[in-house]
């Protein structure tokens, strides 16, 4: 039977562990930064209609420069690959290829996109690669490195490459957690010696590197700890096996500078709040989980690499940022089509544009560009899908809200566009600023 007292104690502890409130000065400055660019967004909406994805290419290029510079200050040889899964719009991939980044793909579909975007340095990662995906990689072996996920995949890749009389460069993924769901990815670190030995028996797969990935990194602790584990494993390897390692890919998962902004439902106590009696008024309290600055990520990771890996191997360090690069690059414009009450409006865009019920747990300000202001008002800002979970926010920033107003939902670049759904309503068009030109590749 359930221990009632233990449950009540755990619930009380959850309520005590609420993250800090989002600082109002930080939030006001964030909203103001978009109001300063309102003419650009209103012009885009006037020319192309709504709902609309708006891509800011200059922000993307600035993020790429910042990321690469931070790690090159700490390590002598760094290669940055953009994780396409975080936002697979072709304009984003093309711009980053033009800026000198490689592309990290997780499927044959993404690999096709990377090839069409002209990338000549592509990683193919992910579990359960099909025969067709491996064949595509081998066919484009001058541009693709396969990050293998298992012993079985090593055997299948060798078979595909041998059939084509080809040699293909590869690495192997190491799982960072041998328990639970994360066992899906890679091989246990303890199996690395056996895997390297097995790869030496394959004459067509040229194993040259290692990869690992930890996700949702608000700070670099998980990455640093696994680098320590990997360093210990490398010290135990035979010298001839260590000598084949030319790169170590430390993955991505870096959180953007503003941290994670949450509604009450997204906090640790959120599940408890869901069963509490509904509040009579919409709450405008928002919470923030802070993230570590990128320079500190680079410093701690660089220090760990120099201390744990470089004594055993001299290699290139690769990274696979996705969210950190694209989070602030794409925004969504909506038009209010129905004001049903002072505290309830319906917009012309549904959350199928982002693919999931994000705003019930995550907080992003909804900014009224038509009636700008630095005050947030409680209001259910809903989409036009036939579901009550089609929610953009519990409030808006501005001086009132009426039919025809243009609303901006900022920084929707990461894990939204890639997850969009062709559900009930048409998907938005996409335009690239500052040129405000529609991107036909959508």
* 347 pLDDT more than 80: yes
Region 9-17: mean pLDDT is 61
User: 420-441: per-residue pLDDT in tens?
Assistant: 999 999 999 999 986 544 444 4
Region of poorest pLDDT, from 157-171, 257-271, 351-365, 400-414: 257-271
Please spell the DSSP secondary structure of 163-216, one letter per residue. HTT--EEEEEEB-S--SGGGGGSSB-GGGHHHHHHHHHT-SSEEEEEEE----S
Amino acid 5: pLDDT: 63
Region 374-395: mean pLDDT is 97
User: 239-267: per-residue pLDDT in tens?
Assistant: 999 999 999 999 999 999 999 999 988 88
Region 378-406: mean pLDDT is 97
- Structure-token match 């996109």, residue found: 113
10 pLDDT band, cuts 50/70/90, is low
- pTM for the full predicted model: 0.94
Report strand pairing: 429-433 vs 144-148.
unpaired
19 pLDDT band, cuts 50/70/90, is confident
d(CA 285, CA 22) in angstroms, rounded, equals 8
Domains of the chain: 20-49+329-438 (2.40.37), 58-256+291-326 (3.20.20.10)
Amino acid 18: pLDDT: 76
Region of poorest pLDDT, from 31-45, 75-89, 167-181, 281-295: 281-295
């Amino acid at each position: 039977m359930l221990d009632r007292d233990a449950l009540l104690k755990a619930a009380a502890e959850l309520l005590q562990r609420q993250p800090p409130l989002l600082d109002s000065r930080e939030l006001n400055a964030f909203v103001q930064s978009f109001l300063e660019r309102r003419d650009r967004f209103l012009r885009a909406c006037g020319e192309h209609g709504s709902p609309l994805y708006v891509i800011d290419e200059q922000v993307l290029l600035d993020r790429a420069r910042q990321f690469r510079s931070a790690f090159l200050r700490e390590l002598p040889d760094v290669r940055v690959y953009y994780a396409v899964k975080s936002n697979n719009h072709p304009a984003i991939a093309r711009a980053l290829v033009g800026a000198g980044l490689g592309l990290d793909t997780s499927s044959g579909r993404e690999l096709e996109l990377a090839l069409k975007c002209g990338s000549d340095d592509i990683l193919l990662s992910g579990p359960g690669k099909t025969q067709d995906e491996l064949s595509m990689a081998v066919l484009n072996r001058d541009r693709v490195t396969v990050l293998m996920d298992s012993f079985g995949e090593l055997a299948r890749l060798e078979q595909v490459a041998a059939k084509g009389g080809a040699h293909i460069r590869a690495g192997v993924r190491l799982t960072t957690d041998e328990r639970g769901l994360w066992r899906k990815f890679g091989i246990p670190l303890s199996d690395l010696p056996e895997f390297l030995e097995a790869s030496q028996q394959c004459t067509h797969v040229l194993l040259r590197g290692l990869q690992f990935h930890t996700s949702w990194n608000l700070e670099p602790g998980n990455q640093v700890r696994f680098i320590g584990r990997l360093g210990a494993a490398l010290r135990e390897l035979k010298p001839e096996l260590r000598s084949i390692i030319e790169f170590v890919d430390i993955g991505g998962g870096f959180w953007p500078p503003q941290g994670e902004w949450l509604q009450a439902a997204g906090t640790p106590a959120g599940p408890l709040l869901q069963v509490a009696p509904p509040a009579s008024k919409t709450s405008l309290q928002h919470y923030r989980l802070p993230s570590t600055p990128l320079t500190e990520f680079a410093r701690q990771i660089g220090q760990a690499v120099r201390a744990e890996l470089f004594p055993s191997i001299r290699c290139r360090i690769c990274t696979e940022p996705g969210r950190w690069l694209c989070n602030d690059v794409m925004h969504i414009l909506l038009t209010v089509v129905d004001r049903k009450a002072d505290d309830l409006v319906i917009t012309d865009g549904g959350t199928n544009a982002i693919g999931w019920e994000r705003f019930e747990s995550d907080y992003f300000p909804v900014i009224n560009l038509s009636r700008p202001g630095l005050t947030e008002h409680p209001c259910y800002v809903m989409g036009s899908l036939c579901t009550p979970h089609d929610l953009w926010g519990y409030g808006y920033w501005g001086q009132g809200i009426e039919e025809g107003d243009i609303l901006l939902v900022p920084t929707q670049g990461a894990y939204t566009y890639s997850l969009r759904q062709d559900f009930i309503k048409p998907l938005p068009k996409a335009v690239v600023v500052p040129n405000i030109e529609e991107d036909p590749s959508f």
